[in-house]
Structure 1
């Protein structure tokens, strides 16, 4: 719903993944196509991706979270994945005046991947700018992944929560402000998706 107001940004994004079962089921209902849930966290494909990066000794640049959270997160990554080269990092609290220097630093360090956790739509808009200045770098948006990992460790969700697809209930209990998103904004989003599919 936020990105549909930024059409230029929306069109510049190469891939979207389904990070919740609701969108999996809705997409299957509307198109007949099945897709696996791929969430940007260690409970999903990020675990395999970081293992791969460690084996291949890839480099990465992190952007997002508060400065203290980012430092804690990077410490956890360095401890578990010692072969990953962290070429740079920047917290998520920066303005438009800071962007040119940050984009320049990313370009100078030329990481294999950059992981951006700024929240929507800021992370998508920033990532599109990175895509233009550093076209050879793979960019992954991760929402609150950096903060969650720093504050709660690698296993943010208990395994049984993941297995039963109850992540949304768990997050409502853990994080403020999500009740409104799930029960007011998500129903609106479903209406927009159906409208886009059958009317536009």
Structure 2
């Protein structure tokens, strides 16, 4: 597990490094980007092959960012795929250059509501394919990948939760023919079906996104109570020993 921690930490990068990587790769190859927070950190560490498959990992949350910067020389910023961070940039740039976008995730029906909200926020946004994040079997997954790939997207955004979304990114990059930028987005698609800009402006200003999610969603409260303290203890113990 220590090696998994080290492997994951080595792939955590800043927003500037992400932009540089996307500029270098363009659409010449698949670029797999995911995000790590106190819940997903240990989940990803349990699957080293997923960490290895990612091109870049971003720090999703102030707690992880603070601990990472405490123990590592490569300082990073908080970067999330939501409207408090890079989602607005990705979608705005996609609309500006008419890039083809695929949305996959959330419960049946919600992804199309999110698509409608995005199109209102970003006139000209070209969402060419949507599908919910639930598959009956492997054949169904492959069918969705093939249908999405036939649309020749330049950006694919996947929200299924960790590790399912990371597995999907890897499978997509292995089976699709048209290279593109692949992003995980956690609950972003489902949140955007509830409200286009999910977070209250004051919440974003004060950096209390975790509090709004905890109030609105029981699974977030459970993570805060159970998973976050375990993450802090395990992370600090492992990195102090490594020092």
TM-score with structure 2 length normalisation?
0.76
Runs of 4+ in 1 over 3 A off after TM superposition: 194-200
Q: Is the counterpart of residue 20 in structure 1 residue 64 in structure 2?
A: no
* Runs of 5+ consecutive residues of structure 1 not aligned to the other structure: none
Give SS of 2:56's match.
Answer: coil
CA distance in 2, matches of 1:56, 1:196: 45
1:109 to 151, 159, 168: 151
Residue in 2 aligned with 1:158? 200
Would the aligned equivalents of 2:50 and 2:166 in 1 still touch at CA under 8 Å?
A: yes
1:40 to 71, 81, 93: 81
1:68 to 100, 103, 109: 109
Structure 1 residues 16 and 133: CA distance shift in structure 2, 3 A = same
CA distance in 1, matches of 2:128, 2:238: 41
2:180 to 132, 137, 154: 137
Structure 1 residues 191 and 45: CA distance shift in structure 2, 3 A = same
CA distance in 2, matches of 1:23, 1:63: 26
Would the aligned equivalents of 2:44 and 2:163 in 1 still touch at CA under 8 Å?
A: yes
Structure 1 residues 113-172: Cα deviation after superposition (integer angstroms, max 9, x where no partner)? 000001111001111111222361111100110110111222x11222122221111211
Residue in 2 aligned with 1:168? 210
Give the alignment's Cα RMSD to 1 decimal.
1.7
What count of residue pairs does the alignment treat as equivalent? 199
1:184 to 217, 222, 226: 226
CA distance in 1, matches of 2:92, 2:186: 20
TM-score with structure 1 length normalisation?
0.91
Q: How far off is 1:11 after superposition?
A: 1.0
Structure 1 residues 47-76: Cα deviation after superposition (integer angstroms, max 9, x where no partner)? 111111111110111100122211111111
